[in-house]
Amino acid sequence: MKILITGGAGFVGARLAQRLLARGTLGGQRITQLVIADQAAAPAALLADARVQGRVGALLAQAEGLRDEAFDGVFHLASAVSGECEADFELGLRSNLDSTRALLDALRHRREQGAPPARLVFSSSVAVFGPDPAVPLPPVVADDTLPTPQTSYGTHKLICEQLIADYTRKGYLDGRAARLMTVTVRPGRPNGAASSFFSGIIREPLAGEASLCPVDATVSHPVTSVGNTVDGLIAVYEASREAFGGRTALNLPAINITVQRMLDALQAVAGPRVRERVRFERDERIAGIVANWPKGASAARAAKLGLKPEPNFEAIIEQYIADCRATNPAALKGLDA
């Protein structure tokens, strides 16, 4: 089978590609080709696999060329992130809405030429939820909580969820949307996402660097690991239509946790000296965005697929440390300082 991963050179996308190549199969079929499309080149280790083809460039520009390709499955992860969308409205529309519509139409074209419908998994976001005067935000958002996004990014994700549901209703593809919770701990440097600090307050102290937390310690949010996220995306792809439970999006599992509890876990795993590298310095722009995000989430439909959150946040930190020891020990130089 031939698989496409948009945004496949990114943190989650690259880990998904690694997992699929290691498995060798998806949905009981052997993976013969994996196409990684992104604005940046895929990691060299992925490109070294004979099954992998990397394509570099904006997805909107690549979409026309996808019209005549026979993809059996698609993981659509490519997206401009929350902070970028707030800073550049046109960028968000182009990267998130226009690119998704172009991709869906490429898959629709193949279907109209008589090909079987491709199965597509879309990475939506917890950002589709937000407070609204007419619909108060519950303490914990569920699969069936009414989405009322309060950012451009969340709005884009919700629109794409509905587009995919409608293309599925029309028989153009077999689409499923999974709402990702905030993934931590992301390696590398901070990106443009408003949620970037959820990784930074763990990653930078472990690397021996100071980190600023732009929100209050009482802020609560659902977070998860990259490993759990990848497991969720694959499970959603492999689920039967009946097991997935309809055309609407489902929440992936997460730990509902405060910033204070995250820092307590950091101290428990890495010690007080590492924890002391984090200090609070409020950023009103980021704090304002985060204030409109859910404080917690549940994932009943995902649980029926066998998915569950990590046991605690310490386990997420330990997973990150183990990954760094295997791939980038320098990222942990703060542990020995």
Report in angstroms the alpha-carbon separations of 306 from 179, 287, 296, 297, 319.
Answer: 16, 34, 20, 17, 20
As a residue count, the chain comes to: 337
Enclosing H/E stretch for 151: none
Give SS3 for 179: strand
Question: Nearest 5°: phi and psi at 314?
Answer: -55, -40
Tokens matching residue 186: 């992301």
Q: Is 237 a catalytic residue?
A: no
Contact indicator for 2, 32 with CB cutoff of 8 Å: yes
* Cα separation, 119 vs 72, whole angstroms: 6
- Radius of gyration over every alpha carbon of the chain, rounded to an integer in angstroms: 19
Question: Nearest 5°: phi and psi at 77?
Answer: -110, -15
Q: What does the DSSP 8-state code read for residue 297?
A: B
Catalytic residue of the set 153, 167, 237, 320: 153
Q: Which residues are catalytic?
A: 153
